[in-house]
Amino acid sequence: MRAVVQRVDGASVVVGGETVGEIVGEGLCVLVGVTHEDTPEKAAQLARKLWSVRILEGEKSCSDVNAPLLVISQFTLYGDARKGRRPTWNAAAPGDVAEPLVDEVVARLRELGATVQTGRFGADMRVSLTNHGPFTVLLDI
């Protein structure tokens, strides 16, 4: 699994003019990509890392300050543009594999006590955020 994690001062995702997920104030906006070898165990590991990684203001984690997370699926994290002008998506897992694993990340975060908002899997989404820092990290699990 791969995640692009941004420390934010608010973020939202809109589908068809409707806000489907939003966090207000300090938190994390997380774009999650799934590849073919990913498992529920990797999803749980990613959730634990997201909940405990110390990248908020003052080197705090979401678990330290009960900060919310906005988790959005993004298959393009496994795009490969090394050849030609058009990326390939061969490394990205198909939707029927990826969706349950993204859902597992969200479920595990909630089990840990996190407040989690989400996008809508497979939808044409508009993501808005205010990156605080800017601070962005890439996590590969």
Q: Which residues are catalytic?
A: 74-76
Q: How far is CA 6 from the centre of its chain?
A: 9
**DSSP state letters, 38-60:** --HHHHHHHHHHHHH---BTTTB
**E-state strands within 1-124:** 2-15, 18-33, 69-73, 116-118
CB-CB contact of 38 with 3 (8 Å): no
Which residues are registered as beta bridge partners of 60? 56
Extract the tokens encoding 82. 């090394």
- State the Cα–Cα distance between residues 1 and 139, nearest whole angstrom: 8
